[in-house]
C-alpha cells in the first residue's frame, strides 16, 4: 500500500472500498492512533475551538454552548469551554493566550467590555467572535441581542395586563446587560407614562441567591403588582421570595424573567420570560467563526437577534 493511499484513508479523504478496508484493518492490528500534534504542525490547525462565558452553570450559556457545539462538530472541530466568572483580567488573559494558537478560534461572551478587552480582541492572531455588545468601531465579528427591546416587551405586556406598580430586579449596572436592561426598563416605563419609583428597583447579581435577596429587599419596603427580572435565575429567586412573603403569583404580583431558559418552564407557576435567542446567537457565532477560520480576509460582520416574549402563568391579567 502506498503512503499516499494510506494517508488518504486515515485522514478521511477517500479511497476504494477495498483500500479503505485494508488500511483500517492494518491500523487496528497495530493500534495506530493519529498524532494530533503532528497533524496540527502540518496543517497549522488544532481542530479545537474555545468558548468563554461567565458561568457554565447558567442555563442561558448551556443552551448557547449546545448550539455552538452542534455547529462546530459538523466541521470536525471540538469545543473547549472556559468559565470566566466575568473576571476582566481572566478574560483578557484568555484572549492574549490566543497568541500561542492553542485553538483555531474563540467565541467569547463577556458581560463587561473594557478598553483592555478591545485591545486584546483586535490584536488576536486567531479569529474571535464576540457574543454581546461591542463598540461600533471594533473590527471583530459580533452577534448581539437587544436587551433594551426585550425589557420593553415585558413592560408592555404587564401594562397591557393592567399592572402599574412595576418593580425591577436587575444585575450589576457596570455590566453590559445590566446597563442595557436598566435603560430599557426606564424608557419603557416613561413611554407608558409611569414613573420609576427608586424603591421599586433593586440591583443584585445575575444569580438565584442574589436575585432572591434583592426581591426580598424590594418587597420589604414596597408593594409592587408586577416585577420584571433581568434573567430567569433572578426570576426564580424572586418567585420564591414572593411565595415566602405570602404573595400570590400572578394574582397579587405578576412576574416576568429574561432569557426564556428551561428554568422558566420548570417553575410553578411557569414564568413568563423574554427570549434573547441564546441558541440562535450560538449558532450564528459558530457560523461566523468557521467562516472567518476559512477566510481571514472577510470584512467584519454583525448579526442581530430580535427578542420575543413567551407569556406563561406567572403574568396573568389582573382579576
Say yes or no to pLDDT of 318 above 50.
no
Using CA atoms, how far apart are residues 281 and 278, in angstroms rounded to an integer?
5
pLDDT value for 34: 60
- Closest CA relative to residue 205, chosen from 180, 229, 239: 229
Using CA atoms, how far apart are residues 214 and 221, in angstroms rounded to an integer?
11
pLDDT value for 35: 54
For residue 247 the three cell numbers come to 404573595
Number of H helices, E strands in the chain: 12, 12
CA angle, corner 92, sides to 87 and 96, nearest 5?
A: 150
Using CA atoms, how far apart are residues 309 and 317, in angstroms rounded to an integer?
16
pLDDT tens string 145-174: 999 999 999 999 999 999 999 999 999 999
For residue 199 the three cell numbers come to 424603591
Strands 272-275 and 226-229: unpaired
Q: According to DSSP H, which parts of the chain are helical? A: 3-10, 17-30, 36-43, 59-74, 88-97, 115-123, 147-160, 176-191, 208-221, 232-244, 262-266, 278-294
Model confidence at 18, pLDDT cuts 50, 70, 90, reads confident
Model confidence at 115, pLDDT cuts 50, 70, 90, reads very high
Question: Mean pLDDT throughout 44-70?
Answer: 91
Say yes or no to pLDDT of 191 above 50.
yes
Q: What is the gyration radius of the CA atoms in the chain, in angstroms? A: 24
Question: Mean pLDDT throughout 92-115?
Answer: 91
pLDDT value for 44: 53
Strands 272-275 and 308-310: antiparallel
DSSP-derived 3-state class of residue 134: coil
Say yes or no to pLDDT of 39 above 80.
no
Say yes or no to pLDDT of 41 above 50.
no
For cell 488544532, name the residue: 46
**What secondary structure does DSSP assign to 183-238, as a single string?**
HHHHHHHHHTT----GGGEEE--SSHHHHHHHHHHHHHH---SEEEESSHHHHHHH
Domain boundaries, the chain: 3-34, 48-145+277-307, 147-275
pLDDT value for 8: 73
Question: Mean pLDDT throughout 119-139?
Answer: 93
Say yes or no to pLDDT of 319 above 50.
no
Q: What is the dihedral of CA 143, 145, 146, 152, to 10 degrees?
A: 170
Question: Mean pLDDT throughout 205-222?
Answer: 96
Pick the CATH number of 48-145+277-307 from 3.90.1150.10, 3.40.47.10, 3.40.190.10, 3.40.50.2300: 3.40.50.2300
pLDDT tens string 80-95: 999 999 899 999 998 9
What is the average pLDDT score of the chain?
91
DSSP-derived 3-state class of residue 18: helix
What's 147-275's CATH class?
Answer: alpha beta
Say yes or no to pLDDT of 49 above 60.
yes
- Residue 215: C-alpha distances to residues 121, 255, 272 (Å): 37, 11, 17
pLDDT value for 221: 96
Q: Which residues of 209-230 are buried (b: 16+ CB within 10 A; e: fewer)?
A: ebbbbbbbbbbeeeebbbbbbb
Using CA atoms, how far apart are residues 132 and 304, in angstroms rounded to an integer?
10
| pTM given for the model | 0.84
Least confident of 39-53, 168-182, 285-299: 39-53
* DSSP H or E run through 316: none
Say yes or no to pLDDT of 38 above 70.
no
Question: Mean pLDDT throughout 91-113?
Answer: 91
User: Are domains 48-145+277-307 and 147-275 of this chain identical in fold?
Assistant: yes
For residue 225 the three cell numbers come to 403588582
Amino acid at each position: 500500500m502506498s503512503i499516499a493511499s494510506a494517508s488518504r484513508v486515515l485522514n478521511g479523504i477517500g479511497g476504494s472500498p477495498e483500500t479503505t478496508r485494508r488500511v483500517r484493518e492494518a491500523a487496528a492490528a497495530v493500534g495506530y492512533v493519529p498524532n494530533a500534534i503532528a497533524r496540527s504542525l502540518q496543517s497549522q490547525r488544532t481542530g479545537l475551538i474555545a468558548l468563554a462565558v461567565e458561568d457554565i452553570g447558567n442555563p442561558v450559556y448551556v443552551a448557547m454552548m449546545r448550539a455552538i457545539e452542534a455547529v462546530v462538530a459538523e466541521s470536525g472541530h471540538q469545543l473547549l469551554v472556559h468559565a470566566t466568572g466575568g473576571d476582566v483580567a481572566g478574560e483578557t488573559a484568555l484572549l492574549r493566550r490566543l497568541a500561542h494558537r492553542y485553538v483555531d478560534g474563540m467565541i467569547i461572551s463577556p458581560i463587561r467590555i473594557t478598553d483592555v478587552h478591545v485591545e486584546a480582541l483586535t490584536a488576536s492572531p486567531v479569529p474571535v467572535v464576540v457574543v454581546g455588545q461591542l463598540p461600533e468601531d471594533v473590527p471583530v465579528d459580533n452577534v448581539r441581542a437587544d436587551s433594551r427591546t426585550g425589557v420593553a416587551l415585558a413592560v408592555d405586556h404587564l401594562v397591557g395586563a393592567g399592572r402599574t406598580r412595576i418593580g425591577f430586579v436587575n444585575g450589576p449596572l457596570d455590566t453590559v446587560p445590566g446597563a442595557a436592561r436598566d435603560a430599557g426598563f426606564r424608557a419603557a416605563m416613561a413611554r407608558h407614562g409611569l414613573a420609576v419609583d427608586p424603591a421599586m428597583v433593586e440591583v443584585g447579581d445575575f444569580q438565584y441567591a442574589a436575585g432572591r435577596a434583592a426581591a426580598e429587599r424590594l418587597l420589604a419596603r414596597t408593594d409592587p403588582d408586577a416585577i420584571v427580572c433581568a434573567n430567569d435565575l433572578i426570576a426564580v429567586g424572586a418567585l420564591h421570595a414572593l411565595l415566602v412573603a405570602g404573595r400570590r403569583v400572578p394574582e397579587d404580583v405578576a412576574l416576568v424573567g429574561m432569557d426564556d431558559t428551561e428554568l422558566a418552564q420548570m417553575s410553578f407557576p411557569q414564568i413568563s420570560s423574554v427570549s434573547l435567542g441564546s441558541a440562535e446567537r450560538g449558532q450564528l457565532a459558530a457560523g461566523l467563526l468557521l467562516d472567518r477560520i476559512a477566510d481571514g480576509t472577510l470584512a467584519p460582520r454583525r448579526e442581530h437577534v430580535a427578542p420575543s416574549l413567551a407569556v406563561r402563568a406567572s403574568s396573568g391579567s389582573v382579576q
